[in-house]
Structures are given as structure tokens and as C-alpha cells.
Structure 1
Amino acid sequence: MTVENPAPLSLPARDADAAAWETWVRDRAAGGLARAQELVDGLRTAPPSATLDVLRQWDRASLELGNVAALGSLLGNVHPDEGVRTTAEQAEQDVSRVVTALGLDRGLFELFDGLDDGTDGGADGGADGGLDAQAARLLAKVRRDFARSGVDRDDTTRERISAINERMTEIDQEFGKVIRDDVRTVRVTPERLAGLPADWLEAHPADDDGLVTVTTDYPDAVPTRMFCHDAGVRADMLDAFLNRGWPATEPLLRELFDLRHELAGLVGFADWAAYDAEVKMIGEGPAIPAFIDRIAELAEEPMRRDLAVVLERYRQDHPGAEQVPATDAAYYEELVRKEQLQVDSQRVRTYFAFPKVREGLLAVTGRLFGLRYEEVPDAPVWHDDVTVHDVTDAETGAALGRIYLDLHPREGKYKHAAQFTLTDGVAGQQLPEGVLVCNFSRGLMEHDHVVTLFHEFGHLVHHVLGGHVDWARFAGVATEWDFVEAPSQMLEEWAWDADILRSFATDEASESIPAELVAAMRRSDDFGKGYLARVQMFYASMSYWFHVERPEDLTARMVELQGRFSPWPYRDGTHMFASFGHLGGYSSAYYTYMWSLVIAKDLFSAFDADDLFAPEVARRYRDRVLAPGGTKDAADLVADFLGRPYTFDAYAEWLAR
């Protein structure tokens, strides 16, 4: 069933209490699951005669399940009430069980396996008697899904697969919950916080005991490690930050790695990384460490060059030092930037007041992508911090979707930065609605956080613009998972352009950020990119080898990989992996971030650096990369935009300069 103008999802009223939210979550989940079940039962008992109609019915069932999973994932991470979060998590578990059962249903497998795809002249949708390209693509992917699910295994094996999938969902949720809830603190006297920005100090008064509480949430942890003159405080903060989740998450992770490995073996793969890579651009598990090594080699010389500069500065205060400790890395990087590169981050912060940044982001992306954002002040939300905007096409006025911005930290909320789906958009069925979940200061922001905001908004724009295709399977960011970061990484470039920043980055006197300061910031950002790439390869290698090797001692293996790839030495007594949330959702594929960055640099090469709003290239990018969603392979989307296959060239040139 299609409608001309789908309406946004109706959430509980703004004044709804926790009980009303729990009821809403249960009702929407139950309704979605029931509708999906009815559609699937219809396929089992009275499937349509036409292949296209079978696919439509299956895709509609998938959309219903996706709606329930999305609300479960979102509200399980953002709702302020623990009871609502738990109810939402249960909904997500219910979907996981249903999806697993469907994937192991031999009757459904035989139905799809026997469908006429039109290659023998059947009349199922295309003008030539076959399926059109999108329907054929969907059928191929559904068949692949069944093959990967283990539907062809014996009853005992399928029962085990079902149990594994259910337990993996539970572990992943528990892992995320522990990280989300484990906010640690450092309590110190005010004088020990000398060096931190004045506005930060003002927002952190001493308590009745004469102590200031500093948390491991980003708005506290990042400036403390960058600016605090007291090395002991910096060390305490790093220890607290790196030990979040420890020791509770290690047994969860070890069980998760074992279950993933077992599942991969049951469906015919050597290990989880091989299973996971089959449906990504990279294609094969062993290609992951090869890619990691390639990036590490490209980054070796730039890393050594910039590390030498940081070490030289460190030796001014610590003569004879052989390396810079991890506890001092951010602080001395900041000193190099301030003293040698003429960039004082505390001065930079004065130009980035959060409200101005948010409005600037909307103005920039609206102009770039031809969008209009209209705030909906009375829209229902789960917390008063959340703002809501309807998104329309600036030229036609057509409704494109709705976005929610939940951008400040609070207790019980997801601790990192991510775009969550509320609804996937399907033409004529429902509008795309997405949620930006971040943890930024309400006052002045570090420019790195401005860049992060642009990055995450790139996912949101992709979700909205890609939410008008004909199939739920291909909606929004439904490309291969190692491509989804590329559009968001490319949008970061707009947070570095001097003219663009001057349009919203102003200080208290309303003076725009000087162009020469932005140029210095860019030089400063380029400093250290080699060793930052190596840090990313440390994370990527941990993500891969933890799944392939499943080491008995995760800390020991982490220390080995850190020694091989990271520029910073291991900090004794810390367990960074315990709060490495990407081990959940990204599993063995953290390499994705760097893989996508290689593509992002190539995508950006098509834009005119002197006019980042040039309409022809911006429109071509919107239409050929973002709007198609997952209707084509990512490599084809990129080639359609660039006019050629993507290469390493732009990334390698950027890294070397």
C-alpha cells in the first residue's frame, strides 16, 4: 500500500511519562511484529504468482521488522528512563529472533529459490518480460541471505544457529549497556585543573568537599587530557577513560568472539572475518590485514617525522626521554600546535559556540545539498535536549524526511557519536527519519568536535536523501558497510574551509574566525595524520585479530598489537578494548573507517577547492552517490560520480604531504 505524502512517525507526547513510553514501545513493536508475521504467513500459505509481488510482500515484512529494530536500538541508547531502555532492548531482541527464524525457514528458502527471475522469459515486471534491475538485485540478495543463514543445514545445526544468534544479540546489548553506564570520575582540587579553559572551569565548581568532579564523558575527558598542566591529573583521567567497562566486558567479548567464530564455521566459513567480509567491498577476510599493513606502511614515514617533533618538545621538559607516554601525548601535541604551528586550541574554541555551530551546520548542508530545514518546536521527543527539523527539497518543496538532533551528554545515554535510524524511508510508504546522537558541550566546542558533528551529519543526510527508493532493502545507507563512512568523512572537508567557517564561526564580539587562523588550523590538523593513521590501524588490527585468533588474554594481545602499530606505548594497567564499542556493531571490520577514508579523499577530489558549493558537482554527488541508497554496489556509485573507478592516489598524496 502506498500513500502520496507519508506522515512522520507519531511518538508519545512531550509530557508523556515513562509508563506511556513503555506502552508505546510495546504496542509499536507488537504491531510491527504482527504485521510482519502476517505478511510472511501469506507467503507461506498463498504466495503471489508473480515474482515481483512475492518480493514486494517480503520487502514490506522486512520494513516492518526494521521499524521495530530501529526503535529498539535508538530508544535503548537514548531514552532517559532505564525501564524504557530495557523495553526497547527487548523489542530489538524479539526482532533478532524473528529474523533468525525466517533465515532458517526452509519453506521460505524454497519459495525464493524457485522464483522465476525472468531470465527464461517470464513476465514478472520488466518491459522485456524479466525483473527490472532493482527487483533482480533484491532477489539475488535475498537468496544470498538464505545461503548465509545456514538454512540448508540439518535440524540440529539450525537449532544451534538460532541459539547463537539470540545469545549474540543479548551480549551485544549488554556490552553496549556496560559501556554506556560506566561513567568514571576523577576528583581533584581546583588548582590542579590549571590550564583548562575558563568557561570549562566555570562550569565545574568545587563541591562541599572542595573538590571538582571530572567525568570520562567526552566534554570532560578531551579538554582535560589536552590542556591540564598537572601530569598526574592527565594520567588519572587517561586511566579512568581507558578502563571503562573493565573488567565486566571481557567475558562478554570472549563469549561473543567464540559464538561468532562458531556461527561462521557452521555456515561454511573459516572464521567470522571471512564470513563478515563476504558482503562488504573488501570481499575476503584475509584482505583485511593486507589492507591494514598497506596503510601502516604508507603512514610509517609521516608518523616518524611528526613523532620526532613531539618527542623533541617533550624532551624540553623531560631531558633524555626515549618516547612520549600515552598520558602526555595529547598535551604535548597541543603544545606543538600552539608553540610551533601557531594554533592555540583555546583561542580556536572561542569561535565555536555550540548554538552557532548547529545553525551553521544546517545552513551549510542546506546550501550544499539543496535542502531546507524547518524546526518543529512542538514535535514529541524523548528528552528536552532534542530538537526536531523537517527536511524538504529547497527547489520543489517536497517532503524528504525528519531529523532529530540529540547532541548533549546525560546519564544513561550512548557515549559516543552516531546516527541512529528511527524509520527507513521507502517511496510511497514511509518517510526517512534519522537521529543524530552525540555528546558535545553546550558552550564552546573544540574544532575537532565541530568536525565530528559534520561527519555524523553526513550519515544523517545520506539516510534522508537515500530514503526515497522503492525497496526497504536499499533504503538510506544500505550500501556495503565498508563504504558508509565515506560520505560522512567527505563532509568533514566543509568544516575546514575558511569561507564556510567564517559564515558561522564568530567570537563573543561577533568577529568571524580569521582566514589565517583557519589556514594554520589546517596545517595543525595535517600534523600527526601519519601517527593517527597508525592508531586507526591498531584499532583495526585488534578488531580483526580478536575475531580470527580469539586470544585467551585480550589485554596481552592488545598490548602486542599496540606495540606493532600505535605510536604511543601501552599504559600499564589499562584495558582500552573493554570500552571499544565497535567490537560490537563493526565486529571484525573496524578497517572500514580507513577504507572509507581512502574513497572519501577520492570523492572530494572532484570538488573545486575554491568553490565547495559549486552546484553542478554538488548535485551530481547528491544524485549519484547519496540518493541511490543501496540500489547499486558502492564501487559503481563512486564510478558513476567520478567517471572512473576509485583509486588510492588522492589518499596517498594527502598522507604524504
Structure 2
Amino acid sequence: MTALCVTNDLQDVLLLPDFSSIAPAQLAAKLDKQLAHNQHEIDNLLNTKSLSYEQLVPTLEQLGDELDRLWGPLSHLHGVSNKDDVRAAFDECLPKLTAYATQMGQNKALYLAFVELLDSQEFGHLSQPQQQFVKLQIKDFQLSGVGLSPQKKIEYGQLKQQMAELSTRFSNNLMDATQAWSKHVTDSDDVLGLPDSALKQAKENAKSKNLEGYLLKLDFSCYHAVMTFAAHTQLRQEIYQAFNTRASDQGPHGGKFDNTQVMEELVGLRHKMACLVGFDHYSDYSVATKMADSGRAVEDFLLDLAKACKPQAQIDMAQLQEFATDQGGPSPLAAWDIAYYSEKLRQKRYDLSQEQLKPYFALPQVQSGLFDVVKRIYGIQVTQVQGVSTWHEDVSFYQVAYLGKAIGYFYFDLFARDQKRGGAWMDECRNRQIKASGQLQLPVAYLVCNFAPQVGDTPVLLTHGEVTTLFHEFGHGLHHMMTNIDVAGVAGINGVAWDAVELPSQFLENWCWQEESLRLFAKHYQTNATLPEEMLQKMLAAKNFQSGMFVMRQLEFALFDLRLHMNYNQDAPQSVQAVLDQVREEVSVIKAPAWNRFQHGFAHIFAGGYASGYYSYLWAEVLAADVFSRFEEEGIFNPSTGAALWKEITGQGGSRDAMDLFVQFMGRKPNVHALMRHKGLANKVTQGANNES
């Protein structure tokens, strides 16, 4: 791939962080200075009566951008390079930033300036994005307690501080617990069944610690390999227990990194905060900025899906148990047997294993194919850029261009390593906005995954699930980088309802399942031969294997999250475990052991911004499947359809309500039919589940 070279001038124009020169210990003092500067500038601004939009918003955008340039790199490093000095600086800075954000959210003079702007004659002459930003700001002020009494404002601020601290503690505990466990294996018979790629990585892990044999760890690629392929039940049980008791009172490190109290306190504080600003519970507070009408409406949506999908999930589970019994497996199946016997059943039913596919999904080829796919959909070009400062040697940097003109940039950090939190995510490095100088600042994204790194000369070979993860995160990145909006607060993912923000990411996953797109990148890493037609058809036939069980698992997570926050009773709070147990009793078809502590590692809702919003994945999946149905009708690489999507959804950011954007593109409101068809469950849809979301 041809690579561009960034000159110092261009790097300065992009205002990219110089990660090689960041000194975490010095950031607290710099942050104090920046926050004082911001406060002074805002105070001066508010001395002017009847502020126009051009007087008010660009100044706030500029101050926000200056703060992001200081805090953003440290916040990012906290996730991808969580060394002692980074963690210490983060912990020192976070309370300062939280206090500042709370103070700004409760600044009544600033709030009234926006209200006055809304009521002014000027408002009608503002652009749609500008009007939407003003409306969203007013709502954010109200949700931040701008109308509270002075004493209650103090209480609100204290709650926000405590919540921020607890979320950070949850994340740190989970990372520390994940990296604290390992299993050293010297006898190859003990790792019987593991694929060569997993064995090579385990050998490399051992070698890095000056050990012979194999070192198994709790990064997801290792965990997944053991759970899916390890022949010894005891090994599967051991790593299942270690993974599913991380940061809890149970398991090999029980009590050492325990998140039990963190979760209980966090849920209680969220409830108090929601009640303080006029809501009955945190779920309605959370949903106030989303597409859904209320927490109860979300519950109805989830229960309708559960009613539609549970019968098929029960059939899936019964068939798996029957197969395992025939194979001499246990009855009933334990939680650590599910993935192992599911893979065996998949191989028997479709004559295809996940490991057979991996040689056709070498990361370089998949990455090139991903860039080709988005070029065909949107007409954009992705080119690697050399010479950019990064936080690790494995990180690369790319430009996204349209008709030869740059529209955005992104960092790719794709491999698991120590001091990097697990999972995959997209985050903002720079937002698109007009600078005070009049210059357009282009968006820059961080795109992060945790694939097993390369060992030896063999390129990284991905599972098909990892391929969809890469496409998913890139979809988020495109939402950020392809924005056509110049108002920072509603550009990219900003201002987008959280239950719609997953639409572009889940939408792009569809190209991992289309024959026309798979032909572009599913090629053998040694021969460059295209995935054989027979294997392709088997893979597509297996697409909805155990789809009922998968959907019910997602519903379990979503209902647990929702009810944890919606049904909280401050006079007699249920334990987090009790709420999860009740949800499992209602919807789960896989029995978890009593010591399972999945919730202690559920970072999405306790440290990741999805509190009372995990349902967004299923909600947005309805939207994404529906949007993709238009491509199915008009051609998956139809450039006019791609251009319409860019113009009407992807490029619009939060400049209009998500439902309005959807209706603009589809010509109607969404329904679940396309999703259920994609899951192979269309004939299971009940009348209730077929209602418009």
C-alpha cells in the first residue's frame, strides 16, 4: 500500500498529539492552567448581554477544543497504555475535569444565554445544525441540574465526582484482574485441541517471561481459543472460571480486585442523581437523550424480542445438548462446555470449522478489503500516512480522502498487549469544526481492537468474528470522519442519540456476510486463492447457527442493565447479583454457575457510557438491518445508495433527530422484520415484536 509522509507543517496543522513527548506527571498543572483560562474566558464572554450565536458558540467550541487537546491524549493513554505514571496522572486530573464539567453544566448565566438565543429572532436564521446544537445544549443544562438550588447543585457535583471515581476504579480493577492471571503449561497434552495460532501465541507469551512451554492468559483471543477448542474439560473450566470471576469476590483472585461494592455504590449514586434532577429512576434519565421514549418502552421492546426469539433459543440449546450427549459429553452441559460442543456441532452440521476459515482472513488482506469496501460504498480512499507520533510501535495512521481531498484521519491500534484494556472501541482525537482562524479542523479518530499480535513470519489470522469487529469499529470511525457538519457539538457522533450511535457500525458488519464483498478480501494468505465456493456457501449457511441463543444472550445483558437502573429502590436496594439472577431466570437458556460474576467485568455499563443503554446494540441493530435492506434491493455497492446514506445519515452527525434521519433515508419508520430475517428468525416474529421501534 502506498503511504503518504506527513511533514512537520501538516502534523502541526492537524494538531496531532506528540505522544513521544507527553509527560503525564506535568499534565495536572497544565490542566489547572487551562481550566482557569477557560473559566476566565467564559466569565468575560457572559459580561456581554444578548450574545449572538457567533459571539457565543465559536468561543465555547475553541475553548473545548483546547481542553480536548490537553486532556484527550491522557484519557486515551489510560485505555491503551495504562502505565503507573499515566494512571496516577489520570486519577489526579479526573476530579478536576469532572468538577469543571459540572460547573459548566450548572452555569445559569451560560444556560440563559442559550435560552435567549433560542427565543431570539436570530434563531430562525441559523442553520439546522446550529439550531439543533442550541436545543441540545439547553437540554444538557437541564439534565445537569442547572435549575437546582445552590445546595442541590453542590450535591449533584459531589455525585458526579463519586461516579467518575467509581467508574475509573471499576476499569482499573478489571484490567488489573485480567492481567494478574495466567496459567503456565509445560505438557503439550494439556493444551490438546488448541489451534496452531493459539499455541504459537501461548509459546510466545511463555518466552516473553523466560518460561518453557505455554502461557495462557485472559486476553479474549486466548480465552476464546481455549473455550472453543481445548479438549480437556478441566482446562476449559479453569479458564472459564478465571475469566468470569475477574474483579470479584470469587475465583482465583477472589476479593483482591473486587468490584462488588463499586457496582452497588455506582447504581445507587446514579439513582440519586436522576432523582435530583426530576426523574423517577436513572433509566428515564438515560433515555432522555435517546430515541426511545422511556425505560418502560425499552423494556417492552426487549421483552417483545425475547418472546419472539426464546422458542428458537430453546430449540438451539436442546439440539446442542442432544448432540453433546451423542458425543459422550455431559448432561446437562456446563457453561464451559457450550462453546466447545457448539463448534463441534457447527463442524458436523456445516462441515466447516472456524479454524479452516482463518487462513482466508489474514489481517493485511482483510484491512485492504475493508478499505476497498468503503471505497465502493462511499467513494472514499484510505491511505497510510508515515511519520506520525504514536504511543506504540504497532500503531499506524491513515488518511481518509474523497475525490483526492482529505476529510479525516485515524489511528489503528489493533493488537492486545499488557497495560491495554480489553475490547474494541472508537474514540475521538479531533472533532470537525471551524477554528477561530476560520480554518476547518478535520476529524481524527482512535480505532482500537485487541487481536492477538503477529508471531514469527505468519501474518495475523483473524476469526470471522474478529473480521466483523474490525468492520464494526471502522463503521464508528466513518461516522466520526465522514461528517459534513462544521458545528462541533453535533458533528460526527456528537449529539447523536446513544441508541442510534451503533447504526453505522452494525450496518458496516453486513459486508462481512455478502458474497460480493467477501470475494474482495477472503483470500488465502499463502496462495492468494479466493475462499473456495464450497467453503463460502458453508460459511453463509452457518451464519445463523444458534442465532436464537445469541440474541437471548444480548437480551440478558440489556434487560439486566435496564432493570438494574429502572427498578432500583433506595430504601431496599437489591444486590446487583440478585437482579442478574432474576433476569437469567426469565430469559437465559444457558445456566450459569452460582459463582459466575459476569457483571464484575461488564465495563460497558459500569465504566463505558452504556449505563441503562446497553439495549442500544439491539435497538440500533434493528435500524442497521433495515437500512441495509435498501442496499439489498438496490445493490450492495450501488454508489447512488451509498451517496444517499452519506448525505442523509452518516454525514449528518447529531444535526437532526435520529428518527428523522432514518425516515429521510428509508421513507418510513423502522421495524424489526429485516433484523429477524437476517437472524433467520423471521417466521418467529410475534405481532408485538413487529411493532415499530
TM-score normalised to the size of structure 1?
A: 0.92
Q: C-alpha separation between the residues in 2 aligned to 1:39 and 1:475?
A: 24
Q: Which moved more, 1:278-287 or 1:596-605?
A: 278-287
**Contact kept in structure 1, 2:396 and 2:411, CA below 8 Å:** yes
1:457 and 2:454 correspond: no
SS of the residue 1:627 aligns to: helix
Distance apart, 1:472 and its partner CA: 1.2
Q: How does 1:264-413 map to 2 (within 5 A)?
A: 264-318=274-328, 321=331, 323-393=332-402, 395=403, 397-413=404-420
Q: Residues 452 and 13 from structure 1, CA distance in 2 versus in 1: closer, same or farther, beyond 3 angstroms?
A: closer
Q: C-alpha separation between the residues in 2 aligned to 1:433 and 1:209?
A: 41
1:534 and 2:556 correspond: no
**Contact kept in structure 2, 1:8 and 1:402, CA below 8 Å:** no
1:494 is matched with which residue? 511
Q: Residues 61 and 635 from structure 1, CA distance in 2 versus in 1: closer, same or farther, beyond 3 angstroms?
A: same
Q: C-alpha separation between the residues in 2 aligned to 1:290 and 1:64?
A: 43
**Gap runs ≥5 in structure 1:** none
Measured against aligned partners, the alpha-carbon deviations of 1:510-567 in whole angstroms (never above 9, x if no partner) come to 2111233222212212111111110001101111122234444322332222222122
Q: Give the aligned residue type for 1:186.
A: K
1:568 is matched with which residue? 590
1:588 is matched with which residue? 612
Q: How does 1:137-536 map to 2 (within 5 A)?
A: 137-183=132-178, 184-188=181-185, 189-205=187-203, 212-247=214-249, 248-318=258-328, 321=331, 323-393=332-402, 395=403, 397-427=404-434, 428-442=439-453, 443-466=460-483, 468-478=484-494, 479-507=496-524, 508-536=526-554
Q: C-alpha separation between the residues in 2 aligned to 1:174 and 1:219?
A: 25
**Contact kept in structure 2, 1:73 and 1:88, CA below 8 Å:** yes
**Contact kept in structure 2, 1:388 and 1:404, CA below 8 Å:** yes
Q: Which moved more, 1:543-552 or 1:85-94?
A: 85-94
Q: Residues 67 and 209 from structure 1, CA distance in 2 versus in 1: closer, same or farther, beyond 3 angstroms?
A: closer
1:71 is matched with which residue? 73
Q: Give the aligned residue type for 2:190.
A: R
Q: Give the aligned residue type for 2:647.
A: D
**Contact kept in structure 1, 2:361 and 2:462, CA below 8 Å:** yes
**Contact kept in structure 1, 2:82 and 2:420, CA below 8 Å:** yes
Q: C-alpha separation between the residues in 1 aligned to 2:463 and 2:534?
A: 18
Q: Which moved more, 1:310-319 or 1:587-596?
A: 310-319
Aligned residues with identical type, % of pairs: 27
TM-score normalised to the size of structure 2?
A: 0.87
Q: C-alpha separation between the residues in 2 aligned to 1:628 and 1:612?
A: 21
1:12 and 2:23 correspond: no
Distance apart, 1:404 and its partner CA: 0.3
Q: C-alpha separation between the residues in 1 aligned to 2:669 and 2:338?
A: 38
Q: Residues 68 and 309 from structure 1, CA distance in 2 versus in 1: closer, same or farther, beyond 3 angstroms?
A: farther
Q: C-alpha separation between the residues in 1 aligned to 2:11 and 2:401?
A: 12
Q: C-alpha separation between the residues in 1 aligned to 2:84 and 2:336?
A: 34
2:690 is matched with which residue? none
SS of the residue 1:7 aligns to: helix
The structure 2 residue matched to 1:98, chosen from 97, 100, 103, is 100
Q: Residues 441 and 359 from structure 1, CA distance in 2 versus in 1: closer, same or farther, beyond 3 angstroms?
A: farther
**Contact kept in structure 1, 2:264 and 2:575, CA below 8 Å:** no
**Contact kept in structure 2, 1:75 and 1:88, CA below 8 Å:** no
The structure 2 residue matched to 1:616, chosen from 634, 637, 640, is 640
Q: C-alpha separation between the residues in 1 aligned to 2:445 and 2:82?
A: 19
**Contact kept in structure 2, 1:563 and 1:570, CA below 8 Å:** no
Q: C-alpha separation between the residues in 1 aligned to 2:28 and 2:368?
A: 35
**Contact kept in structure 2, 1:351 and 1:505, CA below 8 Å:** yes
Q: Which moved more, 1:434-443 or 1:514-523?
A: 514-523
Q: Residues 52 and 377 from structure 1, CA distance in 2 versus in 1: closer, same or farther, beyond 3 angstroms?
A: closer
Q: C-alpha separation between the residues in 2 aligned to 1:5 and 1:638?
A: 37
2:115 is matched with which residue? 113
Q: C-alpha separation between the residues in 1 aligned to 2:385 and 2:172?
A: 31
Distance apart, 1:166 and its partner CA: 1.2
Q: C-alpha separation between the residues in 2 aligned to 1:252 and 1:564?
A: 26
**Contact kept in structure 1, 2:407 and 2:442, CA below 8 Å:** yes
SS of the residue 2:452 aligns to: coil
Q: Residues 230 and 439 from structure 1, CA distance in 2 versus in 1: closer, same or farther, beyond 3 angstroms?
A: same
1:633 and 2:657 correspond: yes
Q: C-alpha separation between the residues in 2 aligned to 1:56 and 1:320?
A: 65
Q: Residues 353 and 89 from structure 1, CA distance in 2 versus in 1: closer, same or farther, beyond 3 angstroms?
A: farther
SS of the residue 1:647 aligns to: coil
Q: C-alpha separation between the residues in 2 aligned to 1:641 and 1:627?
A: 12
Q: C-alpha separation between the residues in 2 aligned to 1:627 and 1:246?
A: 42
Q: C-alpha separation between the residues in 1 aligned to 2:656 and 2:542?
A: 38
**Contact kept in structure 2, 1:36 and 1:60, CA below 8 Å:** no
**Contact kept in structure 2, 1:171 and 1:256, CA below 8 Å:** yes
Distance apart, 1:580 and its partner CA: 0.4
Q: C-alpha separation between the residues in 1 aligned to 2:50 and 2:656?
A: 27
**Contact kept in structure 2, 1:79 and 1:85, CA below 8 Å:** no
Q: Residues 608 and 406 from structure 1, CA distance in 2 versus in 1: closer, same or farther, beyond 3 angstroms?
A: same
Q: C-alpha separation between the residues in 2 aligned to 1:518 and 1:371?
A: 28
**Contact kept in structure 2, 1:32 and 1:67, CA below 8 Å:** no
**Contact kept in structure 2, 1:33 and 1:64, CA below 8 Å:** no
Q: Give the aligned residue type for 1:195.
A: G
Q: Which moved more, 1:305-314 or 1:132-141?
A: 132-141
**Contact kept in structure 2, 1:75 and 1:84, CA below 8 Å:** yes
**Gap runs ≥5 in structure 2:** 1-9, 250-257, 454-459, 683-693
Measured against aligned partners, the alpha-carbon deviations of 1:392-428 in whole angstroms (never above 9, x if no partner) come to 11x2x22211100001011111201111111121144
Measured against aligned partners, the alpha-carbon deviations of 1:142-168 in whole angstroms (never above 9, x if no partner) come to 222222222222111111001111111
Distance apart, 1:51 and its partner CA: 4.3
Q: Residues 522 and 42 from structure 1, CA distance in 2 versus in 1: closer, same or farther, beyond 3 angstroms?
A: farther
Q: C-alpha separation between the residues in 2 aligned to 1:540 and 1:180?
A: 23
Q: C-alpha separation between the residues in 1 aligned to 2:15 and 2:371?
A: 22
**Contact kept in structure 2, 1:8 and 1:401, CA below 8 Å:** no
SS of the residue 1:435 aligns to: strand
Measured against aligned partners, the alpha-carbon deviations of 1:596-645 in whole angstroms (never above 9, x if no partner) come to 00111100000037842111111111121111111011111111111222
**Contact kept in structure 2, 1:365 and 1:371, CA below 8 Å:** yes
